[in-house]
Amino acid sequence: MKSFTYERPGTPAEAAAAVARNPDAKFIAGGTNLLDLMKLQVETPAHLVDVNGLGLDTIEATPEGGLRIGALVRNTDLAADARVRKDYGVLARALLAGATGQLRNQATTAGNLLQRTRCPYFYDTAQACNKRRPGSGCSALDGVSRQLAVIGASEACIATHPSDMAVAMRVLDATIETVDAAGAERNIPIAEFHRLPGDAPERDTTLKRDELITAVTLPRPLGGAQVYRKVRDRASYAFALVSVAAVVQPDGTGRVAFGGLAHKPWRVEEAEGDLPRGARAAASGMLAGAAPTHDNAFKLVLAERTLGAALKQARA
Amino acid sequence: MKFDTPAGQNPIDQLKVVGRPTDRIDGKYKTTGTAPYAYERHDVAENQAYGYVVGAGIAKGTVRAVDTAAAKAAPGVLAVVTTLDVPKLGLGTMNYANLFGGDRIQHYHQAVAVVVAETFEQARAAAFLVRVDAAPEAGRFDLAAEADSAPPVKADSGEGSGADGAERVGDFEGAFAQAPVTLDETYTTADESHAMMEPHATIAAWDGDRLTLWTSNQMIAWAKGSIAKILGIPKQNVRVDSPYVGGGFGGKLFVRADAVLAALAAKAAGRPVKVALTRPLIPNNTTHRPATIQRVRIGATPDGTITAIAHESVSGNLPDGGPETAVDQTKLLYAGANRLTALRLAHLDLPEGNAMRAPGEAPGMLALEVAMDEMAEKLGIDPVEFRIRNDTQVDPNQPERPFSHRNLVGCLRLGAERFGWDRRDRRPGQVRDGQWLVGLGMAAGFRNNLVMKSAARVRLDASGTVTVETDMTDIGTGSYTIIAQTAAEMMGVSLDRVVVRLGDSDHPAAAGSGGQWGANNATAGVYAACMRLREAVAQRLGINSADATFADGEVRAGNRAVALAVAAEAGEIVAEDAIEYGDLSKRQQQSTFAGHFVEVGVDVDTAEVRVRRMLAVCAAGRILNPKAARSQVIGGMTMGVGAALMEKLSVDKRRGFFVNHDLAGYEVPVHADIPHQEVIFLDEVDPTSSPMKAKGVGELGLCGVGAAVANAVYNATGVRIRDYPLTLDKLLARMPDAA
C-alpha cells in the first residue's frame, strides 16, 4: 500500500470536487475491494475521499412506484429490506448469493457495482494485465482462464465482472444516479453503465473520473417469478462460474441476465422473446458470438443448463 | 526407555484420564485470542521491526541486479537485504529449493529481498520500490508433457513412509494377462496447497552470535538443525520457540523463507525483526503437494479374488526433489499374489513439492480406491464385499510379516451398517431427490503408523504440580491435552495439576507433529519420563517403586499413603527420558484403517456436487482423547472433500507458476460445503505401537475419503471422472439429460 492522504467531504458534490482536484484520488466507501487492491498495489491512489459520511444510506419509494437505493446502503440492509424482498426478490437473492455476511455488512450498493474483476492476473503485479497497466498485454489470454469471459471480450482483456447484485439490477433495468464536481446530476441506465473491455479494459464503467454514484433507482416492480441461480465450485464464498438472474411471468415471457460470462452483466433483450420456447432457444440468441477459451468453453453449456434450471425454478 | 516388546499392562490402562473426551486445555486461549501466534508475540523481544518479503516475478532465471535505492530512501526503512547480498545459503533437511541467497531463481515467488522498517506499512510500501532485474529462462512446467520421459526413482517421502521405486512380487504382467476380469485406468490428482490459516511467520533476534526464532513450526528439532545449516552457524547457538501453531498440514514441517529472512534481516537491522509470508506468496514461495498421474491395473478372478495389482505414479519436482509416493498404500492394503508398484519423477521448474498431510496415501488412495470401485462394478460385486474379500492380515510383499493389528473389515462392516449401505442402488443414476441426483460411495481408509524417538522432561514441585516440558508442537491437534492426560494418568493426579510446556527447542526433543506420528510417540515419550519420575518419587519417599501406585494425588504402597507433593518438599524432582523403539515396527506392519462412506447430491442441471452426509469408522489403536481425535478425523474428511471437489493449484504452463495464489482463488471447503459428519472409533488397542497402545488418526481421516466422494458422484450420475478435482466442468458434458 502506498501512503495516501485522506479526507471526508460534507456533500456529494464536494466529494466529486475533491476527486476532480487530485488526479490520483479515489472514492472509498466500504473498502472491501479497494483496500485489498491497495495492499497489493494493484490500486495506488495518493488520496482517498471517504464518502461514508454523506448519508446516501436510505431506501425510499419513488413517485413512479419504484425504489431509490442510496449509494451507501449496505448490501446486508438492501437484501433485508422488506420492499426489496417482496417486490425485487431477484435482487435480494443475488445479494445474499455474494460474498459473506461480514463483507455484506460493510459493502455498499455503489461499491458493489464498482468492484473490480477477480482475474488472477489482474491481482498479480508481476504479470502483464491491460486492465491494471494499460498496454502491458494480457497474460490471461494464453494463461489460466477457467473463470474468465466467454463473450464480449477482446484481444486486450477477457476479464469478467464479479458482481451478483449488478446482474439482478441489470435484469430489473436499474438506473444509476450520479453527481459530478460541477454538481451536475446524471442518470445512467445500467445497460450503459458497465463497459465491454474493447481496447480500454482499464475502464470498467462509463463513469467520469470525478463522478460519484449517489443512488440506484429501480423501476416499478415487475412481478412474476424472480430467480437468482448462482453456480460455483463451492457452496458459499466463491465467485460465480455462471449465474442467472431471471424474472419470468406466468405466460412464460420474461427477462434474463447472466453473470460470470462477460465484462459486464450479460443481457440480450432481443433474445428474450425466445424465453417461452425454453432455455436452449433463448440461450442460443443470448450467447451468439461467444468466443470462449479452451479452459472456459464449458461455461456456454453451463449457462444454457443454468438458465434451464432457473426457468424450471420460476415455473415451480 | 527402550520399547522393543509389546506393551503389557501399564498405568495408562487405568484410563482414568486418558481415553476421555476432555476439552482441549488450550481451547480457551485459542477461542479468546489469548494464545499468541508467532507474529503476535510482541512481548518476547523489545523494539521489533517489520520485514516484508519481495518474491521473484519469474519462474526460472538469474537475478542480474536489485535496485534498492528507492526502498532504502523510503520512510522508516531500516535495512534491505537482497538475494545478491548473501551467498547461496545451505539447504534445510529434506528441502531442495534454495530459500535465499545467490542469483539463481528456481521457482516463482522465490524470495529475492526483504525490506525492514519501523512499521509493517512502511516495510510493505518500500518493498514495492525494490526493482529486480531478472533474466528469465525457459522452464518445464507441464507434468503431462514431461510424464512419458520421466525416469524411475527410488525415494523416501521424507516422513519415513518410504517408497523404493519399482517393487515386484510374483509375475504381475503374466497374471494380469491371464486374469479373466481386468481394469487398467489412469487417474490424475492436482497440485494442492496446505492453506493453513496462520501464515508462515517468525520473529528473529540475535544476542551476539546466538539466534532466537519465535516461529510457527511443526518440527522444532528439525527447524533448529535446518536453520543452523542454512545460516552456517552452530546448532547450539539457535533456539526455536513455537508454542502455538495455527495449522501446518506439512507446510510447516520445514524452515521456510520467513525464518531465514527474519534472521538475516535482524542481523542487518541490528534489532529483532518479524516477518510473515503474505498470503499471495505462500502457494509459490513455500512447498505444496505435487500433482500426480497414476496408472492402476487390477486383475481378478470372477469371484473377486485379486490376482494381479499394479500401481504406478509419476510426479514432478525440482532437481534433487522427491516424488509423491502415491503407491505406498497399494503395497499393503489388499492381497494379491502378483504385484507391481513403481514411481517416476519428472524434473519440473515449479515450486518445491513436498509433504502435505498424508503425503503419498492422500493422492494415492484417490486413485486406488476409485479403481477398486470400478473393479467391483466390473465383477458385479458390492464394493464393500470386494474389499473384504481381498483383505490381508500380512504384508503381501513379505507374507511372513503380519500386521500388528488390522481390523479394516470391522470398519467396513460397521460403516456399511451405520450408513445404510444396503439402501444403495448399485445401478448408477437411479436416485432422484428433487433437483438432485443422489449417490452413495465408499472407500477404505489407510495410512501407516510411524514410530519415532520422542523425549520429555517432567517436574514435580512442592505444590504437587506436574510440569511437562518437551519440544513437541500442538498444531491445532490437541497435543497439549493428550500430553496432560498422559502425565495425569501416570502420576495419579487430576488434569488441573498438570502444566504442559511445548514447542521450545530448549526442551527435550519430541517426535514433533507430522505423519500422524505425533500423538502416539509424544505421549509415549511423556510416559517414559513419567516412569522415571515415579521411580524418583518412590525413592524420595523410601518406597520400592515396583510396589507404588499413584492415584488421587497420592503415592500408595502397602498401608502407606503419602501425598505426591510431599515427595518434592525437599526440592523439585526432575526426570527426563525418551521412548526409543526397537524393531517391532519392522517385524510387524503397523497401520491405521478406516471405512469412509459418503452421500452426495449432484445437481441434475448444473452438475454441482454437494456432499450430503459422511461417515468414517476408524481403527487406530487406543484413542487417547475421542473428542480431539474426532476433530482430527473430521478435519481430514473436510480436506478430502476439498481434494475431491475443488482444491487445485492451477498451473500457468507458459509462465510457470500457480496462478490462484490466494484463498479467493484456491478454494477449500467452507462450512456450507460440509454437512453432517460422523466418526466412529473401533474400541481397540495396539500393544506393538508403544506403551500408549495408540496409533495416529490425523491423516487417516483424509486417506480414502476423496475416493468415496468420487465413487458417490459416479453412483449418483453414472459419470466416472478420473481427473481430480471433480469440478462440474468435467461432469457437465456427460450428465444425463436434465429432464
Question: Following DSSP, what letter does each residue of B286-346 receive, concatenated?
Answer: S-BBPPEEEEEEEEE-TTS-EEEEEEEEEEEESTTPPPP-TTGGGGTSS--SEEEEEEEEE
Q: Which of B58, B661, B667 sits opposite A238 (nearest CB)?
A: B667
Q: Is B409 helix (H, G, I), strand (E, B) or coil?
A: helix
Residues 60-99, chain A: which have Cβ within 8 Å of B?
Answer: none
Whether B158 shows a pLDDT value over 60: the answer reads: no
The fold for domain A225-315 equals: Enolase-like; domain 1 (3.30.390)
The pLDDT assigned to B736 comes to: 81
Cell of B351: 515450486
**B664 and B576 within one domain:** no
Give yes or no for a contact between B98 and B88, defined as CB atoms under 8 angstroms apart: yes
**B529 and B424 within one domain:** no
Q: What average pLDDT does range B705-723 have in this prediction?
A: 98
Whether B696 shows a pLDDT value over 70: the answer reads: yes
**B715 and B616 within one domain:** yes
CA-wise closest residue to B449 among B524, B519, B509, B363: B519
B307 falls within a domain:
no
Q: Where a domain ends, among B285, B304, B324?
A: B285
Cα B669 to Cα B505: distance, rounded to the nearest angstrom: 35
Q: What average pLDDT does range B591-602 have in this prediction?
A: 98
Rg of chain B (C-alpha set): 26
List the domain range (segments joined by +) for residue B63: 38-138+196-285
Cβ within 8 Å, pair A123-B645: no
B144 falls within a domain:
no
Cβ within 8 Å, pair A234-B672: yes
Cβ within 8 Å, pair A238-B673: no
CA-wise closest residue to B165 among B175, B177, B176, B150: B150
In angstroms, the separation between the Cα of residue B312 and the nearest Cα of chain A is 28
Question: End-to-end alpha-carbon separation of chain B, Å?
Answer: 68
Cα B79 to Cα A229: distance, rounded to the nearest angstrom: 52
The pLDDT assigned to B160 comes to: 45
Closest residue in chain A to residue B649, using alpha carbons only = A144
Q: What average pLDDT does range B326-352 have in this prediction?
A: 97
Whether B576 shows a pLDDT value over 60: the answer reads: yes
Q: Is B278 helix (H, G, I), strand (E, B) or coil?
A: coil
Closest residue in chain A to residue B666, using alpha carbons only = A238
Closest residue in chain A to residue B646, using alpha carbons only = A233
Round the average pLDDT of chain A to a whole number and report it.
97
Cell of B435: 433437483
The pLDDT assigned to A288 comes to: 97
Q: What average pLDDT does range A203-211 have in this prediction?
A: 97
B279 touching chain A per CB within 8 A: no
Cα A125 to Cα B280: distance, rounded to the nearest angstrom: 11
Cα A46 to Cα A247: distance, rounded to the nearest angstrom: 43
Q: Which of B58, B75, B659 sits opposite A144 (nearest CB)?
A: B659
Whether B533 shows a pLDDT value over 60: the answer reads: yes
CATH number at residue B562: 3.30.365.10
Q: What average pLDDT does range B429-446 have in this prediction?
A: 97
pLDDT in tens, B606-653: 999 999 999 999 999 999 999 999 999 999 999 999 999 999 999 999
Cα B716 to Cα B440: distance, rounded to the nearest angstrom: 7
Cβ within 8 Å, pair A39-B125: no
pLDDT in tens, B643-688: 999 999 999 999 999 999 999 999 999 999 998 999 999 999 999 9
Angle at A173 between CA A170 and CA A176, to 5 degrees: 85
Q: What average pLDDT does range A233-255 have in this prediction?
A: 97
Residues 235-264, chain A: which have Cβ within 8 Å of B?
Answer: 235-239, 241
Cα A144 to Cα A155: distance, rounded to the nearest angstrom: 15
Please list the residue range(s) of chain A that carry CATH number 3.30.43.10: 5-52
Give yes or no for a contact between A281 and A274, defined as CB atoms under 8 angstroms apart: yes
Round the average pLDDT of chain B to a whole number and report it.
96
B87 touching chain A per CB within 8 A: no
B22 falls within a domain:
no
Q: By percentage, how much of chain A surpasses pLDDT 70? A: 100
The pLDDT assigned to A182 comes to: 95
Question: Residue B400 catalytic?
Answer: no
The pLDDT assigned to B263 comes to: 98
Q: What average pLDDT does range B361-370 have in this prediction?
A: 98
Q: Which of B607, B667, B733 sits opposite A234 (nearest CB)?
A: B667
| CB-CB neighbors (< 8 A) of B671 in chain A | 236
Q: Which of B607, B608, B670 sits opposite A237 (nearest CB)?
A: B670
CA-wise closest residue to B665 among B196, B283, B278, B143: B283
In angstroms, the separation between the Cα of residue B640 and the nearest Cα of chain A is 14
Cβ within 8 Å, pair B732-A301: yes
Cβ within 8 Å, pair B672-A236: yes
Please list the residue range(s) of chain A that carry CATH number 3.30.390.50: 225-315
CB atoms within 10 A of CB B149: 10
**B74 and B205 within one domain:** yes
B23 falls within a domain:
no
Cβ within 8 Å, pair A235-B610: yes
Q: Please give the ipTM for the structure prediction.
A: 0.97
Whether A46 shows a pLDDT value over 60: the answer reads: yes
Cell of B445: 481408509
Contacts 24+ apart (CB under 8 A), A34-42: A34/A111, A37/A116, A37/A123, A38/A1, A38/A2, A38/A4, A39/A1, A39/B124, A40/A123, A40/A125, A40/B280, A41/A1, A41/A2, A41/A125, A41/B128, A42/A116, A42/A122, A42/A123, A42/A125, A42/A132
Confidence of residue B164 (pLDDT cuts 50, 70, 90): low
B563 touching chain A per CB within 8 A: no
In angstroms, the separation between the Cα of residue B727 and the nearest Cα of chain A is 7
Cβ within 8 Å, pair B661-A120: yes
Confidence of residue B166 (pLDDT cuts 50, 70, 90): confident
| CB-CB neighbors (< 8 A) of A132 in chain B | none
Q: Which of B75, B125, B732 sits opposite A298 (nearest CB)?
A: B732
The pLDDT assigned to B165 comes to: 62
**B261 and B118 within one domain:** yes
Sign of the Cα pseudo-torsion (A143, A149, A152, A156, in order): negative
Whether B322 shows a pLDDT value over 80: the answer reads: yes
Give yes or no for a contact between B318 and B348, defined as CB atoms under 8 angstroms apart: yes
Q: Where a domain ends, among B530, B557, B585?
A: B585
The pLDDT assigned to B737 comes to: 73
In angstroms, the separation between the Cα of residue A163 and the nearest Cα of chain B is 14
**A contact test, residue of B609, B668, B729 with most A CBs within 10 A:** B729
B1 falls within a domain:
no
For B27-36, B66-75, B159-168, B554-563, which range has the lowest pLDDT when averaged over its residues? B159-168
Contacts 24+ apart (CB under 8 A), A35-43: A37/A116, A37/A123, A38/A1, A38/A2, A38/A4, A39/A1, A39/B124, A40/A123, A40/A125, A40/B280, A41/A1, A41/A2, A41/A125, A41/B128, A42/A116, A42/A122, A42/A123, A42/A125, A42/A132
Q: Where a domain ends, among B532, B554, B585?
A: B585
**B570 and B438 within one domain:** no
Closest residue in chain B to residue A139, using alpha carbons only = B655
A41 touching chain B per CB within 8 A: yes
In angstroms, the separation between the Cα of residue A297 and the nearest Cα of chain B is 9
B603 falls within a domain:
yes
Q: By percentage, how much of chain B surpasses pLDDT 90? A: 97
Side chain identity, residue B622: R
Cα B359 to Cα B313: distance, rounded to the nearest angstrom: 13
| CB-CB neighbors (< 8 A) of A139 in chain B | 652, 655
pLDDT in tens, B368-413: 999 999 999 999 999 999 999 999 999 999 999 999 999 999 999 9
Whether A240 shows a pLDDT value over 50: the answer reads: yes
**B522 and B581 within one domain:** yes
pLDDT in tens, B218-247: 999 999 999 999 999 999 999 999 999 999
B481 falls within a domain:
yes
Residue with cell 448469493: A97
DSSP of B665-712:
TS----GGG--EEEEEE-----TTT-TT-B---TTTTTTTHHHHHHHH
**B598 and B695 within one domain:** yes
Q: Which of A1, A142, A234 sits opposite B125 (nearest CB)?
A: A1
Cβ within 8 Å, pair B652-A233: no
Residue with cell 497439549: B480
A146 touching chain B per CB within 8 A: yes
Q: Which residues contact B177 (CB under 8 A, 6 or more apart)?
A: none
CA-wise closest residue to B693 among B219, B162, B16, B3: B3
Q: What average pLDDT does range B283-298 have in this prediction?
A: 98
Q: Is B135 helix (H, G, I), strand (E, B) or coil?
A: strand
B331 falls within a domain:
no
Cα B244 to Cα B590: distance, rounded to the nearest angstrom: 30
Number of structural domains found in chain B: 3
Cell of B276: 510473515
Q: Which of A120, A142, A235 sits opposite B673 (nearest CB)?
A: A235
pTM here is 0.97
**B596 and B573 within one domain:** no
**B479 and B418 within one domain:** no
CA-wise closest residue to A85 among A168, A193, A176, A174: A168
Question: A5-52: what CATH class?
Answer: alpha beta
Q: Which residues contact B290 (CB under 8 A, 6 or more apart)?
A: B191, B315, B316, B317, B323, B324, B353
The pLDDT assigned to B528 comes to: 98
| CB-CB neighbors (< 8 A) of A126 in chain B | 55, 57-58
Cβ within 8 Å, pair A118-B729: no
A103 touching chain B per CB within 8 A: no
**B707 and B595 within one domain:** yes
pLDDT in tens, B470-516: 999 999 999 999 999 999 999 999 999 999 999 999 999 999 999 99
B120 touching chain A per CB within 8 A: no
- The catalytically annotated residue of B198, B324, B469, B699 is B699
Cβ within 8 Å, pair A309-B124: no
| CB-CB neighbors (< 8 A) of A243 in chain B | none
